[in-house]
C-alpha cells in the first residue's frame, strides 16, 4: 500500500517543546476546519462522493461522515478528561462505523452541519481551558495516556489528514472548477 495515499501529510508528531502558541494555532485550525471541508466537498455529486480516495480506502462520503463520528468521540473524551480523574475512554471500531448505513447513504450535509456545530462548541471549550486543564489526561485502552493539549494537535492533524485524502483525490481525478463533471447537491 502506498503510504503517500494512506498518510498524505505523514503521521502526527507533537512538538518536542509544546507551547500555548501551538495549542492556540491548533484550536484556530479546529474552528476553521468545518468551513474548509465544506468549501471542498459541499457541491460534489453523488458519483464523485462515491469514489474511494485510495484503492481499498473509504469513499469521500464515508470520510466526511467519519470526520463527524471521530470528532464527536474526541469531544466527549475531552469532556470526560475535564470532569473525571484520568478516565479510560471507550475505543470504537471506526472501520465498522464507516460501513453502517448512515456513513454510506446519508447526505454529507448532515455531517457538515454537525461538524459546524460541534467545532463551534469544541473551540469555545478549548479556548476556556488553562494550562492545568490542558495537561489533564484520558487513557486510551490501546495507546495509553493522552494529554488534552496533545490531543488538540492530533485532531487538528486528523482534519488536515482527511482533507488531504479528499483534495489529492480531486487533483488525481482532475476535478477542477473548469472541468468538473455536472455538480449537484448530495441530497
Cell of 17: 517543546
- Alpha helix locations (H) across the chain? 3-6, 20-41, 46-49, 60-83, 94-97, 101-105, 108-127, 131-134, 148-173
Report pTM.
0.91
pLDDT at 3: 73
126 and 33 in contact (C-beta within 8 Å)?
no
Alpha carbon distance 181, 121 (integer Å): 36
pLDDT at 2: 56
Which residue's C-alpha cell is 469513499?
Answer: 59
Alpha carbon distance 186, 109 (integer Å): 7
**Residue-range domains of the chain with CATH:** 19-173 (1.20.120.450)
pLDDT at 10: 96
Stretches where the chain sits below pLDDT 70 are 1-2, 176-187
pLDDT at 181: 38
Amino acid at each position: 500500500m502506498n503510504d503517500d495515499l494512506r498518510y498524505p501529510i505523514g503521521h502526527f508528531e507533537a512538538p518536542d517543546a509544546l507551547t500555548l502558541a501551538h495549542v492556540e494555532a491548533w484550536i484556530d485550525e479546529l474552528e476553521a476546519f468545518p468551513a474548509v471541508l465544506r468549501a471542498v466537498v459541499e457541491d460534489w455529486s453523488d458519483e464523485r462522493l462515491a469514489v474511494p480516495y485510495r484503492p481499498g480506502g473509504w469513499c469521500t462520503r464515508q470520510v466526511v461522515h467519519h470526520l463527524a463520528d471521530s470528532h464527536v468521540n474526541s469531544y466527549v473524551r475531552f469532556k470526560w478528561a475535564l470532569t473525571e480523574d484520568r478516565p479510560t475512554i471507550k475505543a470504537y471500531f471506526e472501520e465498522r462505523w464507516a460501513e453502517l448505513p448512515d456513513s454510506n447513504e446519508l447526505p454529507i450535509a448532515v455531517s457538515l452541519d454537525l461538524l459546524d456545530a460541534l467545532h463551534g462548541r469544541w473551540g469555545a471549550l478549548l479556548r476556556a481551558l488553562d494550562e492545568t486543564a490542558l495537561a489533564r489526561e484520558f487513557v486510551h485502552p490501546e495507546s495509553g495516556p493522552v494529554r488534552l493539549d496533545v490531543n488538540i494537535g492530533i485532531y487538528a492533524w486528523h482534519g488536515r489528514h482527511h482533507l488531504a485524502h479528499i483534495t489529492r483525490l480531486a487533483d488525481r481525478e482532475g476535478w477542477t472548477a473548469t472541468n468538473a463533471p455536472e455538480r449537484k447537491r448530495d441530497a
